[in-house]
Amino acid sequence: MSEPDIFAPYDRLIEIDILGTKHMVPENNSLLRCFQFLSMEAISYGDFCWNGECLNCQVWLRNGDKEKAVIACRTTVQENMSIVRVADDVDLTEI
């Protein structure tokens, strides 16, 4: 792939749902890197520690009929993940 070296190696893109819209993102990467893949500038310049020490990248995943809060920088993307809420610092307006 011709992507920057910031992404973990991947062979394919997988589909996830972000706030009701389907997106293709690289497998084997953290959710935060996937957000960066979709919106390079907004996420690159966001206020994130990238190592789990803050909660600025917190998102909520659909877990059956409930929601589960996770930190996007520490959560590996899974095919068909459904992200139902994001922290205010996660700017996904450009995706």
* Model pLDDT, residue 10: 96
What is the reported pLDDT for 6?
A: 94
**Model pTM score:** 0.93
* Domain 13-86 is found in CATH 1.20.1740.10: no
Burial 17-55 (b: 16+ CB within 10 A, else e): ebeeeebebbbebbbbbbbbbbbeebbeebebebeeeee
Q: Which residues, including other chains, have CB under 8 Å from residue 9's CB and lie 6 or more apart?
A: 28
Q: Read off the pLDDT of each residue in 15-29 and give the average, rounded to a whole number.
A: 98
Question: So where are the chain's domains?
Answer: 13-86
